[in-house]
Amino acid sequence: MNQATKNPFYSQSDYDSNCLDFQLSFLIRTAEDAQRIAACIYEFVQDCETELHELSKLEPILARWNDPCFSSRAPQAEEILERLDEILTDTVDDFPALEKIRIPIYALQFAIQRRLTSDSVT
């Protein structure tokens, strides 16, 4: 029996990952949830004084999470998040802080993928 199955909080599922960003992505179900997670990113970017004009384009896309048209804008949101990760990787010297901010970035990316998958199923 491995450690994961001994842990009373571990839940065996169809997914192999118990990573925080992946698990957090399951809590993002509405535009408000997505914007709440994105607020962590905005706050971090303000604190590290990194100029990221692209980030301002993310909020209007996430605001349309509940709309059927979200799937047409989702690739742009994914691109913004990917670019943001690249910029932060190149500019942030504090590696623990970088790993901390990657959690909401990756959680949003996972949630967007799940949202797109659910659109294609329905």
**pLDDT, tens digit, for every residue of 65-114?**
999 999 999 999 999 999 999 988 888 888 998 899 999 999 999 999 99
Q: Is 62 a member of any domain?
A: yes
Residues belonging to the chain: 122
> Tell me, what's the pLDDT at 114?
92
Provide, rounded to the nearest whole percent, the portion of the chain with pLDDT above 70: 77
Q: Is residue 8 part of a domain?
A: no
Report CA-CA distances (Å) from 120 to 69, 112, 113, 114, 115. 13, 12, 11, 10, 9
User: What distance lies between CA 119 and its chain's CA centroid?
Assistant: 18
Per-residue model confidence (pLDDT) at position 87: 87
Single pTM value for the model: 0.81
User: For 7-11, 27-31, 43-47, which range has the lowest pLDDT when averaged over its residues?
Assistant: 7-11
Question: What are the counts of helices (DSSP H) followed by strands (DSSP E) for the chain?
Answer: 6, 0
- Is 76 part of a structural domain of the chain? yes
Report d(CA 34, CA 10) in Å as an integer. Answer: 25
Domain assignment present for residue 69? The answer is: yes
Q: How many CB atoms sit inside 10 A of residue 68's CB?
A: 9
Q: Is residue 12 part of a domain?
A: no
Q: Is there a domain that residue 105 lies in?
A: yes
The whole domain housing 43 covers: 29-121
Q: Report how many domains make up the chain.
A: 1
Residue 100 lies in a domain: yes
